[in-house]
C-alpha cells in the first residue's frame, strides 16, 4: 500500500480533535504579502479557506494589496510618499487605492476561492457601514483608523455556505473613503466578531526571540516586555500591536505565521505542531 496514502489517513485521523475544537468557530484570516502575487500560492490559500468552510469553520478573509497599489500608481504616474511605512493618501491616490483593493485584488481572491469550489462574496469596509473610520494620526490624508465595526452584515454570512472576502477600505462619518492598513482592518473586524482566532499571514516565520528563534507561544505581557527590550522591532511592532488590540477587543488568540509556507492555515489549526507564534491574553 502506498506510504503517502497511509500518511494522509493518519494525518486526517490526528486532526480529529482539532476539527472538533474549531467546529462552528469564526476565524479571521489576514491575507497579504508574497502569497498574493503568486498564482500557485493564491490557489493553495484558497483551497485551505474552502477546506476550513467545509469542516464547519466560519472563515472571514481580510486582505491587503500594497504591491498591487504601487504597480497601478506607477502605471498611472501618480506619485505617493510614505511616512513610517504608511502611505500618504490624497484624493487621487485614494481613488486608485479603492479601485485596486475593492476591484482587482478583492475579485482575484473571490475568484480563486470560487475556483476551488467555495462560494466567496467580495465586500469592503464601506458595505453596510461595516468599518467606520476616523482620520489617522498623524494626518496622512485619506488614511483611516477603524473606530467602529458593525458586524451585522458578516453575521448574515455565518452558518451559510458563503465566505466573506473584505477589502480594507473604511468609510468616514461623511461617507468618504479611507485607506486602512490591512492588519488594522483584520484586527478590528476580528474584535467586532469576537472571533475565536485571528491569523495574520506575513512574510516571516513568526515572532522571534533575541537569538532569532521563533517563539511559538506568547502572552500579551511577553509581547509588551519584548517590545520594551527592543527584541520585537521594526515591522513586527505593528503586527504584535494589532494582536494586542484584537485580544483586548475579545479575540481569543492571534497567530502571526508565515503565509509563504504551504498550507500555513491548516498547519496552525489542525496539527499539534501549529505554525508561527500564538499570542493569548
Decide: 33 and 259 in contact? Cβ < 8 Å: yes
Strands 277-280 and 217-219: parallel
Strands 82-83 and 86-87: antiparallel
- What tens digit of pLDDT does each residue of 184-210 get? 999 999 999 999 999 999 989 999 999
Residues 6+ apart with CB under 8 A from 43: 112, 115, 116
Alpha-carbon distance of 52 to 58, in angstroms, equals 7
- What tens digit of pLDDT does each residue of 126-165 get? 999 999 999 999 899 999 999 999 999 999 998 899 999 9
pTM greater than 0.75 (yes/no): yes
Sheet holding 277-280, edge to edge: 119-124, 162-167, 58-63, 26-31, 197-202, 253-258, 277-280, 217-219
pLDDT at residue 80, as a whole number: 83
pLDDT band per the 50, 70, 90 thresholds, residue 1: low
- What tens digit of pLDDT does each residue of 81-136 get? 888 777 889 999 999 999 999 999 999 999 999 999 999 999 999 999 999 999 99
Decide: 131 and 167 in contact? Cβ < 8 Å: no
User: What per-residue string of b and e applies to 87-109 under the rule 16 or more CB within 10 Å gives b?
Assistant: bbbeeebbebbbebbbeebbebb
- What tens digit of pLDDT does each residue of 19-51 get? 999 999 999 999 987 778 788 999 999 999 999
Give me the residues paired with residue 253 across strands: 197, 280
Domains of the chain, each with CATH number or no CATH: 15-280 (3.40.1160.10)
Asked if pLDDT for residue 77 goes beyond 70, the answer is yes
pLDDT at residue 44, as a whole number: 93
Residues 6+ apart with CB under 8 A from 135: 142, 143, 144, 145, 172, 178
Give me the residues paired with residue 16 across strands: none
Alpha-carbon distance of 164 to 172, in angstroms, equals 22
Alpha-carbon distance of 259 to 276, in angstroms, equals 10
The CB density around residue 129, as the number of other CB atoms within 10 Å, is 15
Amino acid at each position: 500500500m502506498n506510504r503517502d496514502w497511509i500518511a494522509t489517513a493518519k494525518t486526517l485521523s490526528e486532526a480529529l480533535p482539532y476539527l472538533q475544537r474549531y467546529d462552528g468557530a469564526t476565524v479571521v484570516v489576514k491575507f497579504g504579502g508574497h502569497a498574493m502575487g503568486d498564482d500557485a500560492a493564491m490557489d493553495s490559500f484558497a483551497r485551505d479557506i474552502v477546506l476550513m468552510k467545509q469542516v464547519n469553520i466560519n472563515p472571514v478573509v481580510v486582505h491587503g494589496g500594497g504591491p498591487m497599489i504601487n504597480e497601478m500608481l506607477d502605471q498611472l504616474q501618480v506619485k505617493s510618499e510614505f511616512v513610517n511605512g504608511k502611505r500618504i493618501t490624497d484624493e487621487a491616490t485614494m481613488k486608485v487605492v479603492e479601485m485596486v483593493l475593492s476591484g482587482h485584488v478583492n475579485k482575484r481572491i473571490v475568484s480563486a476561492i470560487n475556483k476551488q469550489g467555495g462560494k466567496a462574496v467580495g465586500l469592503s469596509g464601506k458595505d453596510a457601514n461595516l468599518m467606520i473610520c476616523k482620520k489617522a494620526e498623524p494626518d496622512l490624508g485619506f488614511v483611516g483608523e477603524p473606530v467602529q465595526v458593525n458586524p451585522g452584515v458578516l453575521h448574515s454570512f455565518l452558518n451559510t455556505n458563503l465566505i466573506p472576502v473584505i477589502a480594507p477600505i473604511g468609510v468616514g462619518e461623511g461617507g468618504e473613503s479611507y485607506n486602512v492598513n490591512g492588519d488594522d482592518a483584520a484586527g478590528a473586524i476580528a474584535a467586532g466578531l469576537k472571533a475565536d482566532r485571528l491569523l495574520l499571514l506575513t512574510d516571516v516565520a513568526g515572532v522571534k526571540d533575541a537569538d532569532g528563534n521563533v517563539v511559538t507561544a506568547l502572552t500579551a505581557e511577553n509581547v509588551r516586555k519584548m517590545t520594551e527590550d527592543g527584541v520585537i522591532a521594526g515591522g513586527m511592532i505593528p503586527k504584535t500591536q494589532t494582536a494586542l488590540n484584537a485580544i483586548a477587543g475579545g479575540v481569543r488568540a492571534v497567530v502571526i505565521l508565515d503565509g509563504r509556507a504551504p498550507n500555513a492555515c491548516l498547519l496552525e489549526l489542525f496539527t499539534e505542531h501549529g505554525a508561527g507564534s500564538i499570542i493569548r491574553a
